[in-house]
Amino acid sequence: MSGKKAFKPKARRPRGFEDKPASVLRAEFRLIEAAVKVYDAWGFEPLQTPAFEYADALGKFLPDEERPNEGVFALEDDDGQWMALRYDLTAPLARFAAENFQDLAKPFRRYQYGDVWRNEKPGPGRFRQFVQCDADTVGAAGPAADAEMIALASEVMRAAGLKDGEYVVRVNDRRILDGVLEGIGASDPGLRMKVLRAADKLDRLGRDGVAALLGAGRKDESGDFTEGAKLPDASIEKVLAFLDSTGGTRGEVIARLAPLVSASETGEAGLAALTEIDAVLTALMVGEDRAVFDPSIVRGLGYYTGPVFEAELLATATYADGQPMQFGSVGGGGRYDDLVARFTGQLVPATGFSFGVSRFAAALAALERGVAEGAEPLVIVLNLEKDRAADYLALAAELRGAGVRAEAFLGGGNMGKQLKYADRRGADIAVIIGEDERQNGQATIKDLKLGAKLAAEIEDNRTWREEQPAQETVARGDLVKAILGRIKGANG
């Protein structure tokens, strides 16, 4: 007999990946379901694309020859081509639209949800795999399509259980800042990118921090120095005036922006787009409290080509120590007319909206909002006579047939252990049919949630034992009706 010990791998989770318990998954499923109902109602069609795409289809995330896994998880197929797990859901959509362009009804309106993967350094709250949920329109030019996306995003916020005033969709057009940059002679691509990056940090660094990055540069708290765009003072003031244009009605923001882009054709086009978006949103009854114009929104450097927007949560929750919990942006989107053109060589207009499911669902759970609620009430049928398992399974099936979430206990243990299992499962009701109940044609209903609540309130043990308000015995034929009544009563 060999003395070599059998290999036992250590149970460990790869860095940057997470296990999700039932409570988290249910919240995410409910959020996706709420969004999908909106997308379906607005005429979007579902699409599923593979987890893998050819690496060269991922655009700027294409692995280079020296580092094939940079940014993505890639592998070489047996035909020598590199494949990578999708980085987002937009690049697969662009590939699908280009591959099937002749056969698609255009505009092509699709929604998709699923996992995406990023080969980046993990950290607190930063995962390498997460779920996105997108809706896009491919083949529709013009601001009306962008306005519809903004209205759609606002409707998803409502469907998620948020009230108006608890969220806002912030809207801008990238061409307006381009027009400002043209006006100050900063159209060089490298300089433009530095200005865009500085503007994108307004929320984090404030006005003074952005001003430093537009000028000579900025040293952060750690002592690291970031070289600035080196704009002259007059040009810095004009960019800051652009960022300061937010506040008030959509019309008031447009009026403030107009003189800043009067000398730029590009800027005028962006302003005209915002004007039309305002008209469409007004027609769709998306009020000023639901969608605002905010020039500081410059998301997606090098990706978006026109209107851009972010869905931000305004509602706050508090940590255990009373400190406010800020959520910020939970999704966003905009126009990206260049993405399909990478495959076709032709300009194909496209606009879309995307949100991160885990982040949004976690925020809703902290806010105790609608779709973050738990599962439907669970009923567990105890298995008290081992030779009658079929009867208990049949009863659970009978309850499910009446629309009740139910299971029959199939493990071992006496009634006490089975009730403990029901508690650990978070069950609402336990059904008890032992030998006595069966012979008398009865069933006992034990309301576990009500029992726990009353146990905390009743101080007199004798009263508790005598009254047993959370437990009742009914005729077997009335069992389903009695359980439905308790569930309906518990749900108000």
DSSP 292-333: EE-TT---STTT--SEEEEEEE---EE-TTS-EE--EEEEEE
What is the longest distance spanned by two Cα atoms in the chain? 93
CA angle, 23 then 26 then 31, to 5°: 130
Q: For the chain, give the percent of residues with pLDDT over 70.
A: 91
Output DSSP code: residue 342: H
pLDDT computed for residue 462 by the predictor: 56
pLDDT computed for residue 464 by the predictor: 43
**Calpha distance 261→241 (Å, rounded):** 12
Question: pLDDT at residue 428 above 50?
Answer: yes
Q: Which one has a higher pLDDT value, 420 or 321?
A: 420
The alpha carbon of residue 34 and the mean position of all alpha carbons in its chain are separated, in whole angstroms, by 11
pLDDT, tens digit, 9 for 90 and up, residues 78-89: 998 999 999 999
Residues 197-211, mean pLDDT to the nearest whole number? 86
CB 483 within 8 A of CB 379: yes
pLDDT computed for residue 458 by the predictor: 56
pLDDT, tens digit, 9 for 90 and up, residues 104-158: 999 999 999 999 999 888 877 788 999 999 999 999 999 999 999 999 999 999 9
CB 408 within 8 A of CB 396: yes
**Calpha distance 343→349 (Å, rounded):** 13
**Calpha distance 440→436 (Å, rounded):** 6
CB 474 within 8 A of CB 447: no
pLDDT computed for residue 59 by the predictor: 66
**Calpha distance 428→378 (Å, rounded):** 5
183-187, 214-218, 272-276, 383-387: least confident range: 183-187
Contacts 24+ apart (CB under 8 A), 471-474: 471/444, 471/445, 471/446, 471/447, 472/444, 472/445, 473/437, 473/442, 473/443, 473/444, 473/445, 474/442, 474/443, 474/444, 474/445
Residues 443-467, mean pLDDT to the nearest whole number? 67
Tell me which residue of 292, 314, 293, 303 sits closest to 354, measured CA to CA.
Answer: 303
pLDDT computed for residue 219 by the predictor: 84
Percentage helix, strand, coil for the chain under 3-state DSSP, each rounded to 5: 45, 20, 35
Residues of 19-51 as b/e, b for ≥16 C-beta within 10 angstroms?
Answer: eeeeebebbbebbbebbbebbeeeebeebebee
pLDDT computed for residue 454 by the predictor: 60
Average pLDDT, the chain: 88
pLDDT computed for residue 188 by the predictor: 79
Q: For the chain, give the percent of residues with pLDDT over 90.
A: 57
Question: pLDDT at residue 451 above 90?
Answer: no
pLDDT tier at 292, thresholds 50, 70, 90 = very high
CB 381 within 8 A of CB 427: no
Non-local CB neighbours of 273 within 8 Å, separated by 6+ positions: 143, 146, 173, 175, 306, 307
**Calpha distance 160→378 (Å, rounded):** 23
pLDDT computed for residue 140 by the predictor: 92
Crossing angle of helices 22-41/357-367, nearest 10°? 110
**Calpha distance 161→156 (Å, rounded):** 9
128-132, 322-326, 406-410, 456-460: least confident range: 456-460
**Calpha distance 302→193 (Å, rounded):** 8
**Calpha distance 19→115 (Å, rounded):** 14
Tell me which residue of 432, 426, 440 sits closest to 475, measured CA to CA.
Answer: 440
pLDDT tier at 372, thresholds 50, 70, 90 = low
pLDDT computed for residue 301 by the predictor: 55
Non-local CB neighbours of 55 within 8 Å, separated by 6+ positions: 62, 63, 68, 72, 74, 81, 82, 83, 84
Residues 198-221, mean pLDDT to the nearest whole number? 86
The values of phi and psi at residue 450, to 5°, are: -65, -40
Neighbours of 401 (CB within 10 A): 10
pLDDT, tens digit, 9 for 90 and up, residues 376-396: 899 999 999 989 999 999 999
28-37, 236-245, 272-281: least confident range: 236-245
pLDDT tier at 62, thresholds 50, 70, 90 = very low
pLDDT computed for residue 449 by the predictor: 83
Question: pLDDT at residue 16 above 80?
Answer: yes
- The pair of three-digit structure tokens given for residue 257, joined into one six-digit string: 């922006």
Instruction: Kindly compute the dihedral angle of the four CA atoms of residues 138, 349, 41, 32, in this order, to the nearest 10 degrees.
Output: 70
pLDDT computed for residue 344 by the predictor: 85
pLDDT computed for residue 64 by the predictor: 47
pLDDT, tens digit, 9 for 90 and up, residues 213-232: 999 888 888 878 888 888 88
Question: pLDDT at residue 455 above 80?
Answer: no
